[in-house]
A = this chain, B = another copy of it.
Amino acid sequence: MTERADVEAVNVAFYHAFESGDLDAMTELWIDDGETLCVHPGALPVRGTAAINRSWALIMANTPYIQFFLTDVEVSLLGDVASVTCTENVLTADETSDDGSFNGAKAVATNVMVRTAAGWRLWIHHASPVLSDPNHED
């Protein structure tokens, strides 16, 4: 149970780094590798930690406000690898939003982590928009 809690804590730290626009914290959560993978919702894959860091810097610079409410958080452990699946219920505001106005969206994320000497670190983040009726799995 402690391992699952550790994995879930890293997952929470990941969303907290994004919410607070903390690129250093985000960078520390990833293994530094050329084969890491990040798929932002609706986008093509970004491969390698250096490119992933640049993608986060760009996203954070263009996201004045973002807040995540995670639901359906499920942890799966397989030796030295763990995955967390969750539904990201997202509130955002950008420069085009009226005062006090927010955009809501829903995405599904798979976050795959590996065990390192420093703790669990991200290897893969794949987020995708939820387009279908939630009561109808195609």
Contact = CB atoms under 8 A, between A and B. Distances in A.
Interface of A: 35-37, 39-47, 55, 58-59, 62, 72, 74, 76-81, 83, 85, 87, 108, 110, 112, 114, 123-124, 126-132, 134, 137-138
A47 B74 contact: yes
A88 to B, nearest CB: 12
A99 to B, nearest CB: 24
A130 B43 contact: yes
B80 A79 contact: yes
Contacts of A58: 137-138
Nearest to A125: B110
Contacts of A124: 83, 110, 112
A80 B80 CA distance: 9
Given A76-B35, A83-B124, A129-B129, A43 B137 contact: yes
A76 B31 CA distance: 13
Given A35-B76, A81-B81, A41 B128 contact: yes
Contacts of A114: 78, 81
A129 B128 contact: yes
Given A124-B110, A138-B58, A42 B130 contact: yes
A32 to B, nearest CB: 14
B138 A43 contact: yes
